[in-house]
Structure 1
Amino acid sequence: MHIYVDADACPVKDEIYKVALRRSVAVTIVSNSPIRIPAHPLLSRIVVGDRFDEADDWIAERADRASVVITNDILLADRCLKAGASVLAPNGKPFTTASIGNAIAVRAIMADLRAGGDVVGGPAPFAKADRSRFLSALDEMLVRLSR
């Protein structure tokens, strides 16, 4: 098993380290700029270039059935699901093959509204409950994959 983190805007990196180290699962933090990570043999960092979607491309190329991908990016989630990976948003909600189509459609509608000048709200602020839900969901996902 391996956890890949779309890390530039990920608010749960510390939680990922905590769960991964307890479960002895390798983690790769992927970002466009250097991000400090704890010194541990299971934790690694990849800094990609600043080309559009370069971090997404790096993760998607490596995602497979033994991977957990942590991202808020719906299009990256779709690519990773198609590769067989398990995908989890930082708020603890899993992306699934059953839910990804709706998420992509809503994303497109919101983009159209913004392009048309409509003022639409963004995601809800990250809350303590999201952090707790994420910890539980990541742990459950790793247990399920280890079977």
Structure 2
Amino acid sequence: MIIYIDADAIPTIAKELIIKTANRTGVMATFVANSFIKLPPSPYLKSVVVAQGFDMADNYITDHAQAGDLVITSDIPLAGEVLQKGAKVLTSRGEEFTLNNIKPKLNARDFMETLRGTGVLDPKSMGGQKPYSDKDKIAFANGLNRLVRALP
């Protein structure tokens, strides 16, 4: 089992939790990003730098993730792709995406994208993502531990 991390926007706290979990459990964690991710020396940690460009990290993860792996991402289309391959998916805020809940999330994402694209919804009015909280950290840590223990 490998943990693949969509690392371009991973919060530092979540990154640290993944590093501790990989070292504690002996599970390989591969951080995939468009730029180098500094990691402490460990046989369980790997940084993969992909070419600059739209979805390059997502494409790498989709190509490499297999059934039994865990993918850390908030990217809903990427989650949908790797779930189809049998991987588990967890966001950095501790939400688990599953085959049962991903379709409504994809539909909602596509609907919002359509509204933004047609000018009905101003992206600036959305306010952006909320700050990473202690509640998010706890939810992520609990989800990560639960999923790593459950995987082969």
Does the 8 Å contact 1:113/1:120 carry over to 2?
no
The alignment partner of 1:69 has SS state of strand
Query: What's the TM-score once normalised by structure 1's chain length?
Result: 0.94
What's the counterpart of residue 130 of structure 2? Answer: 124
Aligned partner letter, 2:126: V
The alignment partner of 1:56 has SS state of helix
Deviates more, 1:61-70 or 1:122-131: 122-131
Segments of 5+ residues of structure 2 without an aligned counterpart are: none
1:88 to 87, 90, 111: 90
Q: Residue 114 of structure 1: CA displacement?
A: 1.9
Is the alpha carbon distance of 1:109 and 1:122 closer, same or farther for their aligned partners in structure 2, counting shifts above 3 Å? farther
Q: Residue 65 of structure 1: CA displacement?
A: 1.4
**1:86-116: CA deviation from partner (whole Å, max 9, x where unpaired):** 0000000000001100110111121122222
User: For 2:45 and 2:26, how far apart are their aligned partners in 1?
Assistant: 10
Matched ranges for 1:106-125 at <5 A: 106-115=108-117, 116-118=119-121, 119-125=125-131
Matched ranges for 1:1-147 at <5 A: 1-11=1-11, 12-115=14-117, 116-118=119-121, 119-146=125-152
Q: RMSD value over aligned CA atoms? A: 1.2
Does the 8 Å contact 1:5/1:69 carry over to 2?
yes
Deviates more, 1:116-125 or 1:84-93: 116-125
Query: What's the TM-score once normalised by structure 2's chain length?
Result: 0.91
